[in-house]
Amino acid sequence: MPYLFTSESVSEGHPDKVADQISDALIDNFLAFDPSSKVACETLVTTGQVVLAGEIKTDTYLDVQKITREVIRKIGYTKSEYMFEANSCGIFSALHDQSADINQGVDRLVDNNDFESKANAQGAGDQGMMFGYATNETDNYMPLPLDLAHAILREMSVIRNNEIELMPYLRPDAKSQVTIEYSDDDQPIRIDTIVVSTQHDDFADDATMLAKIKEDIINIVIPRVKAAQKVELHGLFTDNITYYINPTGKFVIGGPHGDTGLTGRKIIVDTYGGKGAHGGGAFSGKDPSKVDRSAAYATRHIAKNLVAAGLCDQVLVQVSYAIGVAKPCGLYVNTYGTAKVDMHDGAIAEKVSEIFDMRPYAIEQRLKLRNPIYSETAAYGHMGRKNEIVKKTFGSNGNIIELEVELFTWEKLDFVDKVKETFGL
């Protein structure tokens, strides 16, 4: 029987995402100057105020206020009328040293410098379970409802920052939601509903405002989103889509002035939009020794390579850890009955464990996670993004460094051949 499935996204100006971006900018700057940094940084944003709190173990010093203001400025909170503005907001830092009790289980001294010694010495930063998911319904192996929800807001961000004349009233805060009807064999049939709520400048007349914003979303944003999709998906964009555009009406008060933001409150937006599963641990503000982050990336890497290799149409991968222990407690695979090999999922999981080393140090090395690559993850999802090499510049105490780093390494399809070989595909 056909069914409906919904996913949502939020813009870089959403208060929770402002908090995520500040936390990850701090991570990047600490790693740029000291790759061995251990960081757990939480951020709270509200009217005219930013609070930074967390635990740090590092050999570098950063001007956290300057970094925070740069992030807020880049997002677009640059006007006093927003009641949260880069140059004038207060910034309170309560960052302090990491607990030595926790660190002793993560960093152990080794007698030699070889890979195995280091991999066995570095335990997981915490207990917990992490999930990765992939599906072949989109080119980037992401669930379509979430992919479209992200795409709508990315187009609006491009317009707000680079093509202002198209929709000059847009402000940074926005949310989207896409509902898709699927057939009983899990194929997308049509887009049922699109919801967009966007912060905007004040209008003289509320009715005129609502009509204008709805017209622009439907006639400017949606066609651009459709054009960016593969041709096979164009038929989903029919004239029968139900649109709810700013359904509550006026949305002038927004951002951290309209709603307090906290790091780690958009974990479903960050991952798979409700498809698959989530272990509960947020990503932003955590260095890669925290398996909440690194193992979630590693399981996505596994899932994407399994689907891309043709092993299955969709797959969920779970890994779990005990704090201070390098070897995972277990690896679980669920192919939802779509496996193309005559094997139970448990047997598939055993072979996957042989292909992918899931010890925390091995994950860090395989995915190059001790680099400053996290600011780019903090808005529009950590998964399904473009793997690319970029140059980034960081400054601290008069020291300027330029680094070449590889972004979204967990999106690489570099294990497809190995998976095919292992499973005889």
Q: Is residue 94 marked as binding? A: no
| 150, two tokens | 């992200």
Q: Is residue 265 marked as binding? A: yes
In DSSP notation, 264-318 reads T--HHHHTTTTSS---S---TTB-TTSHHHHHHHHHHHHHHHHHHTTS-SEEEEE
Q: Is residue 200 marked as binding? A: no
Q: Which residue has the tokens 């900018």?
A: 25
Q: Is residue 14 marked as binding? A: yes
Q: Is residue 282 marked as binding? A: yes
User: Residue 241 is which amino acid?
Assistant: I
Distances (CA, A) of 41 to 22, 54, 262: 9, 4, 11
CB 242 within 8 A of CB 218: no
Q: Is residue 79 marked as binding? A: no
Tell me which residue of 368, 354, 322, 359 sits closest to 119, measured CA to CA: 359
Residues 6+ apart with CB under 8 A from 199: 13, 170, 171, 172, 173, 174, 251, 252, 254, 255, 258
| 14, two tokens | 């959403």
Q: Is residue 55 marked as binding? A: yes
Q: Is residue 362 marked as binding? A: no
Q: Is residue 201 marked as binding? A: no
DSSP character for 108?
Answer: -
Mutual angle of helices 64-75 and 15-33, in 10-degree steps: 130
Q: Is residue 98 marked as binding? A: yes
Q: Is residue 275 marked as binding? A: no
CB 387 within 8 A of CB 406: yes
Distances (CA, A) of 55 to 23, 39, 51, 285, 365: 12, 6, 14, 10, 23
Q: Is residue 16 marked as binding? A: yes
Q: Is residue 126 marked as binding? A: no
Q: Is residue 42 marked as binding? A: yes
CB 130 within 8 A of CB 291: yes
List residues forming the annotated binding site for ATP.
14, 173-175, 250-251, 259, 265-266, 282, 286
List residues forming the annotated binding site for K(+).
42
List residues forming the annotated binding site.
14, 16, 42, 55, 98, 173-175, 250-251, 259, 265-266, 282, 286, 290
List residues forming the annotated binding site for Mg(2+).
16
List residues forming the annotated binding site for L-methionine.
55, 98, 259, 290
